Amino acid sequence: MGGESEKWALMVTGRTPTNIAVIKYWGKRDETLILPINDSISVTLDPDHLCTTTTVSVSPSFDQDRMWLNGKEISLSVGEFQSCLREIRSRATDFEDKKKGIKITKDDWQKLHLHIASYNNFPTAAGLASSAAGLACLVFSLAKLMNVKEDYGQLSAIARQGSGSACRSLYGGFVKWIMGKEGDGSDSIAVQLADENHWDELVIIIAVVSARQKETSSTSGMRDTVETSLLIQHRAPKRIIQMEDAIKNRDFPSFARLACADSNQFHAVCLDTYPPIFYMNDTSHRIISCVEKWNRAEGTPQVAYTFDAGPNAVLVARNRKTAALLLQRLLFHFPPQSDTNLDSYVIGDKTILQDVG
Ligand code: DP6
């Protein structure tokens, strides 16, 4: 391994934004490999607002793998981390820094321990897809550190094994997670449909209805859905093709209709689950009514909404002018500090995966 009296440490820092599905992933056909029962499509957010920054370091002086999330030590023994660590370690290649006299072979990587420090700049597990950004960032940073040669598609298949939606956060812009057919999950990967510059007049506003931790995790919620919901069989693959076309043609009315319909169908499926899952609350429903009324009054959609596994609204405005009007309306109907306690973030969708270390 080398290095003067083994007193060295190597470090890589990565930054990965979260992504919001406009056609939702919900349900697994294989829980261990995290293979979904449908394709999904997402938009990756701007890294300045909702992102995870992770520093991974390796040193012969570390005697065990350790991880800190937002400054607090957490256990690395849980399945999702272990799968990602195992997959990345198995693909590690030789590394050499001649100046520092450090040489790490493929075999050394299996024995060396890691320290991982991760920060979310937004509430963890509040339905803002923190696991997506977190696991994608972990895989990306570890792959850099361990000199892994795999392309983004292959890395996405590793991130997928940490948390399904994480595979889509490896790319900016619009991303599709192809469910795949193979039993080993080798074709269940994310691909970029369009980059972050393709449709840059869109503005995403997240109305944070509640930053509290959600009551039903996505993992257990979707397991219950697969076991008990009859409605789940009716989720339409046709919508994926239509959404791909809407994105390709920057067709906002179709984009909005499809995104809203898919979000509503996803929450209907949650309600059809036993025991029923309620991710949205009264404020979420009021936001939907407000947007629907506005869109109807305009005759063509101006704003799309989508809700993940939590009450927070992700609103997509067709351009900056509409976004300004939308914010005005939100502040009027849901003033901060009122009992609805709505907080808003403005987020452009231009996003790139950043390697900052
Ligand atoms: C509603 O990716 O968090 O956000 O694979 O069990 O970790 P696991 O679930 P997760 O589920 C995300 C579900 C969703 C929809 C989506 O992002 O597509």
pLDDT of residue 350: 31
Question: 């609204």: which residue's tokens?
Answer: 313
Tell me, in angstroms, the distance from the centre of ligand 1 to residue 98's CA: 43
Q: Where are the beta strands (DSSP E) in the chain?
A: 10-17, 19-23, 28-30, 35-36, 40-44, 51-59, 66-69, 72-74, 95-97, 102-104, 113-120, 174-177, 190-194, 203-208, 303-306, 313-317, 343-348, 354-355
Distance 165 CA to ligand 1 centre (A): 5
Q: Please state the rounded mean pLDDT for residues 32-37.
A: 97
Per-residue confidence band for 344, with pLDDT thresholds at 50, 70 and 90 = very low
Q: What is the pTM of this model?
A: 0.92
**CA 285 – ligand 1 centroid, Å:** 21
The pLDDT tens digits of the residues spanning 253-275 come to: 999 999 999 999 999 999 999 99
pLDDT confidence bin for 339, thresholds 50/70/90: low
Report residue 6's pLDDT band, with 50, 70 and 90 as the boundaries.
Answer: low
DSSP letter for 2, please.
B
In angstroms, rounded to a whole number, what is the distance separating the alpha carbons of residues 230 and 182?
A: 25
Protein residue with its CA nearest to atom 14 in ligand 1? 308
Give ligand 1 pocket residues (Cβ under 6 A).
Answer: 21, 24-26, 34, 40, 129, 131-132, 163-165, 218-219, 308-309
pLDDT band at 351 (very low <50, low <70, confident <90, very high): very low
Handedness of CA 193, 195, 201, 202 (dihedral sign): positive
Give the pLDDT band of residue 335 (cuts 50, 70, 90). confident
Alpha carbon nearest to ligand 1 atom 3, residue: 218
Q: At what angle do helices 252-271 and 282-298 cross, to 10 degrees?
A: 150
Ligand 1 mutation pick, 128, 165, 188, max ligand atoms within 8 A of CB: 165
Cα–Cα dist 97/94, whole Å: 10
SS3 call for 327: helix
* Average predicted confidence (pLDDT) for the chain: 89
Q: Tell me which H or E stretch contains 240.
A: helix 238-248
Residue nearest (by alpha carbon) to ligand 1 atom 1: 308
